[in-house]
């Protein structure tokens, strides 16, 4: 019962996206996609030209955003690869919404 689909827990995963991902509205599009999927977390540019952050939410939705980060991104971006680490199940969401961090 509850709001979750049967057998679907919450996961948290860190990500980093490599390629031409800065100066192409990547963070804004990532935030939009995360909100559309009902996910929480954050996204920010790094000093070495990548975009990184954390995603939290129902496993299936997190998988959808991972796929989006791997293949789609913002219209002008060119993603070379996306890396995911520190995946773990969590009892409750640790963020209220999905934020762009400066």
**Residue 51: which H helix or E strand, with range?**
strand 51-58
The residues near 7 (Cβ < 8 Å, ≥ 6 apart) are none
Contact indicator for 30, 21 with CB cutoff of 8 Å:
no
Would residue 63 show up in a list of annotated catalytic residues for this protein?
Answer: no
Distance between CA atoms of 75 and 32, rounded to whole angstroms? Answer: 13
Would residue 81 show up in a list of annotated catalytic residues for this protein?
Answer: no
Q: Which of 27, 36, 81, 85 is catalytic?
A: 27
Q: Which of 45, 61, 63, 85 is catalytic?
A: 45
Show which residues are catalytic: 27, 45
């Amino acid at each position: 019962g509850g709001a979750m689909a049967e057998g679907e827990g919450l996961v948290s995963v860190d990500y980093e996206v490599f390629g031409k991902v800065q100066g192409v509205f990547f963070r804004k599009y990532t935030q939009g996609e995360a909100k559309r999927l009902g996910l929480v977390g954050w996204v920010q540019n790094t000093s070495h030209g990548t975009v990184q952050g954390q995603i939290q939410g129902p496993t299936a939705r997190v998988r959808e955003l991972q796929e989006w980060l791997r293949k789609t991104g913002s219209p002008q971006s060119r993603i070379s690869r996306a890396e995911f680490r520190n995946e773990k199940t969590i009892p409750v969401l640790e963020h209220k919404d999905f934020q762009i961090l400066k």
